[in-house]
Amino acid sequence: MDLQLNKKTALVTGATAGIGLEIARTLAVEGAEVIITGRARARLDRAVEDIRSSGGKHIRGVLADAATAEGAALIQKEASDVDILVNNLGIYESKPFAEITDADWLSYININVMSGVRLSRAYFPDMLKRNWGRIIFISSESALTIPPDMIHYATTKTAQLSISRGLANLTKGTKVTVNSVLPGPTHSEGIVDFLRSVSTEPEAPADKIVAEFFARHRSASLLQRMIDPGEIASLVAYLASPLSAATNGAVLRAEGGLVTTIS
């Protein structure tokens, strides 16, 4: 299927690894001109070369921290015209609520929420003027099913849903759409370390740790396995495409088969 992404420019934040990298790769292979951001030059360059080796011809990196106002301004300067914005940057951890400090809360809000707010604020008005654009927030199933050991993370993911839906309300009658994707647990860099941090047997083999995680923490999961980042990327590529014109203001849960569309 041709997703009609040729000549579209896409910006993907937090794209040097994991879900972001696979989203950027899929968009680039589909013909979009892709810009990725990262804070470390070596990792950024590796990601660019990785995508090129997969057949992504039009890919470049911008060395900037999308979680800061200064970084967002630099990104906007280096990527002034963006058709597709994928707000993927985010961090997560398991931490008891009483131990989450003010600094933790502010850090999570700045990285997970404000990075998307600043870039959406920068590009959304021009999308409306051009009468075409896509903004996609990579939220999490934790936005709806709050893990008791990740309340700060879940709060930021729920905030993304509010921002996404609010922006979608501003697109009425246009060809601009704003949607959120809510992945479940996904294979990504550092995921095994995270699973070990919540495991009763941190030294157990990885497959046993994964099985315990789903049994204890995600028993309602229909998949009962980690999602491959490429599976998330395929959904995002569709949402970025002109083919998804009727999908707006949607919350798409990329786990368990639940898709709720509010158009």
**Hey, which residues are catalytic here?**
153
Q: What is the C-alpha separation between 241 and 76, in angstroms, rounded?
A: 22
CA distances from 216 to 89, 141, 192, 200 (A): 27, 16, 16, 10
Q: What is the C-alpha separation between 57 and 251, in angstroms, rounded?
A: 31
CA atoms within 13 A on the CB side of 216: 14
Strand-pairing partners, residue 252, are: 181, 259
